[in-house]
Structure 1
Amino acid sequence: MIWLQILILVFLAFICYQDMLYRAVYWWCFPILAILMVLLKYNTSGIQQTLTDAGYGLLFLMVQIFILWIYFSVKHKKIINITNNYLGWGDVLFLIAIPFYLSPVNYVLFYIVSLILVLLYALATAKIITNNKHIPLAGLQAALLGIAMIMDYIISSLELYSDNWLYFLIN
């Protein structure tokens, strides 16, 4: 389904463009991205695997957000809404959309690696861009996911939608 992959790449590029330029993304991009990812994963893995993997990814994300909420609430000694000052809704919606395609292990790896790379980007550009303290997390992660999907297409053994590479590595 090359046309579906191309459409996803176009949406990822659009999200990246919007977030880099405006530090905001239209909310409707994320449900459409999630639907496109469900369709792509369904074609490779079936509905059962798609929903199971998405459930694990979303559970991981909920735990991460809960830990952040606890951390900032304890730090400020009051209940904090982390989407007000710390994490944008676009970032959360992007992280909700992508487990509908990525396998659980690939989702966790993408999450960790992309956060490290975005942090390095933020540190590198902090001296250059001093007037804007907002980091385009969803946009940069969209660009990184686009690169990963292109690599997945070129290197067929990657399979972002499956954890088979891990089982192969362990054996």
Structure 2
Amino acid sequence: MLVFVLLVLCLIYIFYQDLRYRAVYWWTFPLLLTLILIALFNTDGFDGWLEGTLLNLAFLALQLLVVMLYFSLKEHRLVNITQGYLGLGDVLFLFCAACYLSPLVFFAFYLVSLVFCMVVAFLLWLKSSEGVNRIPLAGLQAVFLALCLLLGRFCELPDWVNDRNLQLLFF
């Protein structure tokens, strides 16, 4: 339970930093990854962990490659997407989430959290007279993951790190 609380607090801290400063301290991501690995160890989530993580990281790499190619073609030069388009903290957060969530859950989390971020960014844009210059993607996805974990814990939803439990809901 302590690791779960620390994990949620770490996610909320990432949200706070990204929202307040539009940056996250680098040491927060190794801390998050350490808490994730401890949580997985405590819940026997290591069963099939390596295969799932590699699949998630391949999906993430493909997404980042597509984004890089899109902006490179648009600007007629090779573009590093972590300079001006996507923050390094955003990529590091997604790496941590890919190490924690099962492949089906990671894919669903990735899609739904991006929709969540777009809705929040749109609401911020409506509220602001200057417009939204930068979206705190890692922070919004972190708070979304924290909400999902809390819902999963208190509403007794299936395990987030095991696709077998998730498949029972749909098949």
TM range (shorter): over 0.9
Give unpaired runs (5+ residues) of structure 1.
none
Aligned to 2:115: 116
Q: How does 1:77-92 map to 2 (within 5 A)?
A: 77-92=76-91
Q: What's 1:105 paired with?
A: 104
Question: Are the counterparts in 1 of residues 151 and 157 from structure 2 also a CA contact under 8 Å?
Answer: no
Which segment is superposed worse, 53-62 or 128-137?
A: 128-137
> How many aligned positions are there?
170
1:15 equivalent in structure 2: 14
Q: What SS is found at the alignment partner of 2:43?
A: helix
1:168 shift after superposition: 1.1
Q: Could you tell me which residue of structure 1 aligns to residue 125 of structure 2?
A: 126
Aligned to 1:39: 38
Alignment of 1:125-164 (within 5 A): 125-129=124-128, 130=130, 132-164=132-164
Larger deviation, residues 113-122 vs 131-140: 131-140
Which whole-Å deviations, capped at 9, do the CAs of 1:50-71 have from their partners, x for residues lacking one? Answer: 2222111111110100010111
Q: Give the Å deviation of 1:124.
A: 1.5
Pairwise CA distance, 1:128: 2.3
1:17-64 Cα deviation digits (max 9, x unpaired): 101101000011011101111121122235352222211111111010
CA distance in 1, matches of 2:158, 2:166: 10
Shift of 1:159: 1.1
- In the alignment, residue 5 of structure 1 is paired with which amino acid? F
Against the structure 1 CA distance between its residues 140 and 164, is the aligned structure 2 distance closer, same or farther, given a 3 Å change threshold?
A: same
Counterpart code for 2:63: Q
Secondary structure at the aligned position of 2:121 is classed as helix
- Residue 46 to residue 108, structure 1, CA distance change in 2 (3 Å): closer
Stretch moving more, 19-28 or 129-138: 129-138
Instruction: Tell me the SS of whatever aligns to 2:90.
Output: helix
TM-score, with structure 1 as normaliser: 0.93
Normalised by the length of structure 2, the TM-score is 0.93
